[in-house]
Structure formats: C-alpha cells, structure tokens
Structure 1
Amino acid sequence: MSMRIGLGFDSHAFKEGVPLVIGGLKIDHPQGLAGHSDGDLLLHAITDALLGAVSAGDIGTFFPPTDPKWKGADSTLFLETALEEVALAGYKIVNLDCVLIMHRPKIVPIAGEMRERVADLLSLELNRVSIKGKTPEGLSQDGTAVAHVVVLLESIELPDSHKKLAIHADRPSESDIEDAITAIAGQPRDITALGRKLPTFDTDDLT
C-alpha cells in the first residue's frame, strides 16, 4: 500500500450581488465570493489538493478561468473531476483537514453542516472530514476568504485489467476511464461533462 499527500489553497474576495457558497453549502450572507465559477473556495482548494496528490495538475489545468464554458459553474463539477483522477490513479481518500480563514461569516456555527455536505460530496464518513474556522487576526483581510486543505490518500487494489490502465496508460480513452471508475465505485459514471483533458491526436502518428 502506498500513501499520497495533497495540499490545496485558494482565496477569493467578497463581492456584492452574488450568492455565498462554501463547501457546496449555500450560506445566508450579504456578500458572496468573486470568481469565474461560483467562487466556492473550499471546493476549489479540495480539488487542487486531490489533483496534486496524484500529480494530475491543478484546477486551472482542467477548468481554465479564461474559458467561458466554466463561467458561473457549480464547483461540485470540479470536485467530481478530481475524484475521477484519484480513482483512475488507483487511490482513495483517507481523510482531509480544512482551514477557512475569514472575518465573516463565522464558520464555527456552520462547520458541522459544512462537514456533512463535504463528506457527502466525497462519499466519506463524517469522521474523515475536518473543517476549522479561523479569523485573520492582525492581517488586513477583511474583504477576503482563504482556504487551506490537506488530503491523505491510500492506494487500492484494482482488477488486473484496470490496474494496467492506471499504471501504464498515459492517454486513456473516455471508455477506459468509465470502465475503471465503474470497477472502483461499483456503478457507472458519466464523465462527458467533466473537465478531463483528452488528446485530440496521437503524437506517435506524427512523421
């Protein structure tokens, strides 16, 4: 069994006129977080931590902020892509620890509900998800929210055919990915809407 550690970070400024979503949870607050997508900095940081743990790039690799396709996108879609990459690499989540830093809203009163939402999105038991709220004492961050995430992964045994895919295939097809995820999760997954990058041509064919 092998272990992997991933580190995620994100920050967003508060903005008038947009809803506040953190950890997939809609929060009643007069300001939301500015961003190309829905501004969910916690899911962004978790996504980056998962992708980093399996050396799959970062959130910008799959969902560049310059692409209008992801304007206003639900960040749970980003998280699903990261989970696909983790599963394809032959790993599963052991636990994650999250720190949210902001003056308002207060995270502690809603941390329990937020943990439940994140655990549900990751298909984890609640005791494998930690979310802590801190205030940026002494720092000029009144209008900013910051998230730090650390995730621990452990390897899982794959059927031989899918193990070969996970270890040796540099450019698996969408069909290969769906088969591998089905073998791991026990049910089919539709990956057509996700941000996974597949090559448009085979460089070995170049002369």
Structure 2
Amino acid sequence: MKIRIGYGWDSHAFKPGVPLRIGGLAIEHPEGLAGHSDGDVLLHAITDALLGAVAAGDIGSFFPPGDPRWKGADSAIFLNIALEEIQNAGYRIANVDTTLVLAAPRIGPIAGEMRERVASLLDIPLGDISIKAKTPEGLGLDHVAQAHATVLLERVEESDDLKVLHAEIGEEIPVSAGEIDELLGELGGSSPKPAIKKPAYDTEDFT
C-alpha cells in the first residue's frame, strides 16, 4: 500500500493553576489543560493519528500515564517518537488536517502561529498542515478542549541510484585471496592463514 490514513482524537479538561499549551504554543489563559504531561491536546491527537496510520499502537502504549518520567513532559517528545515510527515503516507525511473544539480561548488570532509551530515540529511545509477551531455549541463541554486529527502518509520511494546500490550489496561478489590480503594490508592487518591439517601418521617415520 502506497498511502495510509490515520485518525487521532484527544480530550482534556481545563484546570486552574497550570499553564496552557496547545499545538506547542504557550497561550495566555486563566486555566491550562489537566493531564499527566503538559496536556497539549492537539499534539496528542496528531501523535495518535501518526501511530494509528502505521498500526503502531497509541500514545498510551508508548508513554503510560502512570509513568512518573512523563509527568509534565513536553508533548513534542511524544510527537518525535511517532515520527520515528512512521519513518521506520517507510512512510512520510503528505498532509495533516486538524480541528480543535473548545469554547475559549479563541484560536483564530493565533492559528497562523500555531500552524507554523506544528509544521516545524513535524518538519513539513506550512501548506501541509491545517488547524481549524470550532466551539462546542449545545454539547455542554465549555470546560473541555478536544482535538481531532487526520493524517495522510505516503510511502517513501527509493531513488534509482539507491535501488541499484541495494541490488549490488545483495549480490554475492567473488573476491580473491590476493584482494583480501591487499585490503587487510591497507587496514594494517593481515589475512588469516589457513589451518594445516596434520596427517594421522608421522611421514618421517617410515620403516
């Protein structure tokens, strides 16, 4: 399969006395988002979408919420692990589409800055990341922030030169003993001498 799709969703309640971080940005607001890490609901949703696209599990399987190592951790760490997973699977990001659902703060005035930050974290062009915001009208979720993320991955195709190199490495290339001696000499070593099998009897003792 040359393309894969991943979907991620996350939700955090607002909590007084903690800083608010969304999309890798510190945002001025009376309350932050409760969570074991920094509570960055948008980066968490993107992380789950990336992991899901390559069937690598979810954010909780890599970073259990009960593990003290991730208390207050920067969610960019989680994102980096997800990026490693998709690279190891042979894919790269084609585009990311996200939607934030929250009553406040207003995302519109900072959406451009947030896009730039997320694009930088993902190492993708700005045009490949979309961040939209909606209010939870009629849902009774004014004290909660939610994030939805969808990612499209495309398989990384090897260049023709790299394919040729891999084919050559995979072939059995005969090497002479003289070439081995020459190579080892250049490296400051010497080729191993073949073991001489002694006969079962003493050839000097014929009677």
Which ranges of structure 1 fall in alignment gaps of 5 or more residues? Answer: 164-207
The 1-side partners of 2:121 and 2:68 are apart by 25
| Aligned residue number for residue 89 of structure 2 | 89
What value does the CA root-mean-square deviation take over the aligned residues?
Answer: 1.2
The 1-side partners of 2:123 and 2:47 are apart by 14
The 2-side partners of 1:76 and 1:154 are apart by 22
Report the CA distance between 1:142 and its aligned residue.
1.1
Identity %: 67
| Aligned residue number for residue 145 of structure 1 | 145
The 1-side partners of 2:137 and 2:28 are apart by 24
Q: TM-score, normalised by structure 2?
A: 0.76
Extract structure 1 runs of 4+ deviating beyond 2 A: 157-160
| Aligned residue number for residue 76 of structure 1 | 76
| Aligned residue number for residue 19 of structure 1 | 19
**Larger Rg belongs to:** 2
Report the CA distance between 1:100 and its aligned residue.
0.1
| Aligned residue number for residue 61 of structure 2 | 61
The 2-side partners of 1:19 and 1:148 are apart by 21
Q: TM-score, normalised by structure 1?
A: 0.76
Deviations 1:99-157 (A, max 9, x none): 00000001111111100000000111111000001001111011100000000000002
Which ranges of structure 2 fall in alignment gaps of 5 or more residues? Answer: 167-207
Report the CA distance between 1:62 and its aligned residue.
0.3
Output aligned runs, 1:100-139, within 5 Å: 100-139=100-139
Deviations 1:5-54 (A, max 9, x none): 00000000000000000000110111000000000010000000000000
Letter in 1 for 2:111: A
Letter in 2 for 1:151: V
The 2-side partners of 1:84 and 1:102 are apart by 30
| Aligned residue number for residue 99 of structure 2 | 99
The 2-side partners of 1:126 and 1:45 are apart by 18
| Aligned residue number for residue 202 of structure 2 | none
Letter in 2 for 1:41: V
Corresponding residue SS for 1:148: strand
Letter in 1 for 2:81: T
Letter in 2 for 1:84: E
Letter in 2 for 1:72: G
The 1-side partners of 2:25 and 2:4 are apart by 27
